[in-house]
């Protein structure tokens, strides 16, 4: 009898344990409202603002000082969106600054980003955040995420694209640590995530040389940007 009661008690405990643990926002439905807006015809439609906030990579720097805006992932996303949603009015607004880290990006976030009334904000700072460290980066990213969510804006975080001076297969590099922290932030705030670092890593594991996806040591080329833009499009397909 005692063993039966014990089993019943344990079953009740399991049933009471929370199952909805924080997780990354799902590709399938995180931007459902935005996708529905994209499908509306004039005059029922409205302008959708997508803001890309970060450092040199989203800004479009390829082999410095060349800025290849049209082949960078923000504009690649726009081109794909317009193919998929020909009725939509879409603004891609790039507030990225080459060489900037997330602390500086956070200081101008309300003035330079939220002033555009974005529907979706993409944040990409991890390459340069190695200079300020994990703790300061987490504080800055968290502040930007909270500010955006308080304005009812969708947020999508990006882990870093590679730096060829680091071994992308090494799980203990600074870049990997920043990538892991960004993944945890996406889970904590239940926002979108593009694991750029993980995508490049899978390509390398599949036998594709990292230099073939890079324009210089720390900037992707068009092919590298395509990897990122194609992953972003999973939220819009």
How far apart, in Å, are the Cα atoms of 191 and each of 37, 162, 170?
20, 23, 27
Q: Which segments of the chain have a pLDDT < 50? A: 1-2, 4-19
Q: Identify the residue whose tokens are 């992953």.
A: 231
CATH superfamily, domain 29-233, is: SGNH hydrolase (3.40.50.1110)
Helix (H) / strand (E) containing 57: helix 56-59
Whether the bond between 65 and the residue before it is cis, its omega within 30 degrees of 0, is: yes
Helices (H) and strands (E) in the chain, counts: 10, 7
Answer for the pair 55, 124: CB distance below 8 angstroms, yes or no. Answer: yes
The domain limits of the chain are 29-233
* Strands of the 154-158 sheet, one edge to the other: 89-94, 47-54, 120-124, 154-158, 192-194
Output the pLDDT for position 16: 41
Strands 219-220 and 214-216: what pairing? antiparallel
Would you say the pTM of this structure is higher than 0.85? Answer: yes
């Amino acid at each position: 009898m005692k063993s039966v009661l014990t089993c019943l008690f344990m079953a009740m405990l399991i049933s009471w344990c929370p199952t909805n643990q924080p997780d990354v926002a799902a590709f399938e439905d995180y931007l459902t409202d935005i996708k529905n807006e994209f499908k509306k015809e004039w005059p029922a439609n409205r302008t959708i603002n997508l803001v890309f906030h970060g450092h040199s990579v989203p800004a479009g720097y390829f082999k410095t000082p060349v800025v290849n805006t049209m082949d960078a992932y923000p504009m690649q996303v726009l081109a794909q969106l317009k193919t998929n949603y020909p009725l939509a009015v879409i603004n891609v607004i790039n507030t990225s600054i080459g060489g900037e880290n997330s602390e500086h990006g956070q200081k101008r976030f309300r003035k330079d980003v939220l002033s555009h009334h974005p529907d979706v904000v993409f944040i990409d700072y991890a390459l340069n955040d190695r200079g300020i460290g994990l703790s300061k980066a987490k504080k800055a990213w968290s502040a930007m995420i909270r500010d955006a969510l308080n304005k009812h804006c969708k947020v999508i975080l990006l882990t870093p694209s590679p730096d060829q001076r680091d071994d992308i297969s090494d799980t203990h590099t600074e870049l990997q640590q920043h990538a892991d922290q960004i993944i945890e932030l996406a889970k904590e705030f239940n926002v979108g995530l593009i694991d750029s670092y993980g995508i490049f890593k899978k390509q390398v594991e599949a036998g594709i040389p990292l230099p073939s996806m890079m324009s210089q040591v720390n900037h992707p080329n068009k092919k590298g940007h395509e990897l990122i833009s194609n992953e972003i499009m999973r939220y819009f397909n």
